[in-house]
Amino acid sequence: MLEKLVPRGSTYAADIDLLFDVITYLVGFWFILVFGFFLYCLFRFRRKAGVKAQYITGETHKQKMAIEVPHYLILGCDVVILIMTFFVWHKVKIDMPTPDEEVRIVAQQWAWSFYHAGQDGILGTEDDIATVNELHIKAGTQYKFHLEATDVMHSFSVPIFRLKQDAIPGRIIYGHFNALDTVIGEWDIQCAEMCGYMHGGMGARLFVETPEQHAEWIAANTPDHLKTASIAATTTQESKEDAKNG
């Protein structure tokens, strides 16, 4: 159901959506049953002249079972939800797939800084690309993120990924995502934890790019003296082609 509201943008989004749907069906079933029974009672037992209410204690064995039995069924539903939850949670928050790329995310009042690994694909080297409020990632690539905060709590929330993680000052929190190529384009990143005056304006944009677009972006943002020969060559070639086509 969620995919109708927000597109699925990560490899684990479908799992979260499925769990959401399963809960919706189970809860929906019980809700309609109980709410319907409730309305039925209200209608059927409305006061009528000459009809006296019944004396029912709810303490006999049979009456107690009328309450108890549905609860074993509800407990069964709870167990189904729990088991599914454990799998989803493990996949999203506990499991850490081997990353192809890493990105460092730093939250502060009231902006996001992103440190992309740059053309060498290694974080913390000279060719890292730092941006403010713009995260550029390559679709179909397993990312590991390092989330930090410099002042207060923030929360890194990407609705299309179904991902959210608080950033805590003094700690580095790791997580992962892998964007689908169905969501190439520009998307919202929101801060999801109250962080003071401009919390309501602390957004960033997520650029999900094809490998070609991403390479171009890296090339455009890498100073010439840091470009390795091969990449420099490809970019010159590409720009020549562009010039030809243009």
Binding mask 97-136 for other proteins (x = CB under 8 A): ------------x---------------------------
Binding range to other proteins, per CB under 8 A, among 27-35, 122-130, 176-184, 236-244: 27-35
Chain position carrying tokens 């959506």: 17
Do the bridges between strand 111-116 and strand 203-209 make them parallel or antiparallel, or are there none, so unpaired?
unpaired
Smallest distance, Å, CB 160 to other proteins?
Answer: 8
218 vs 104: CA distance, rounded Å: 16
**Which residues have CB under 8 Å from 222's CB, separation 6+?**
118, 119, 127, 129, 231
User: In degrees to the nearest 10, what's the CA dihedral of 187, 136, 141, 150?
Assistant: -90
Instruction: Please report how close the Cβ of residue 201 comes to other proteins at its closest, in angstroms.
Output: 5
Work out how close the CB of 64 gets to other proteins at its nearest, in angstroms, rounded to a whole number. 7
Strand, helix or coil for residue 119: coil
Q: What sign results for the dihedral spanned by CA atoms 204, 210, 215, 220?
A: negative
168 vs 79: CA distance, rounded Å: 32
- Least Å from the CB of residue 114 to other proteins: 17
C-beta of 88 vs 218, nearer to other proteins: 88
Q: Which residues pair with 136 in a beta bridge?
A: 207
**Site string (57-76) toward other proteins, x via CB under 8 A:** xxx---xx-xx--xx--xx-
Distance CA 240, CA 232 (A): 12
Indicate whether 148 belongs to the interface with other proteins (CB under 8 A).
no
Is residue 199 involved in binding other proteins (CB under 8 A)?
A: yes
**33 scored as a contact of other proteins (CB under 8 A):** no
Binding residues for other proteins, rule CB under 8 A, total: 89
Q: In the complex, what is the shortest distance from the CB of residue 210 to other proteins, in angstroms, rounded to a whole number?
A: 20
Considering only 137, 163, 183, 218, the residue that binds other proteins (CB under 8 A) is 163
* Residue 42 interacts with other proteins (CB under 8 A): yes or no: yes
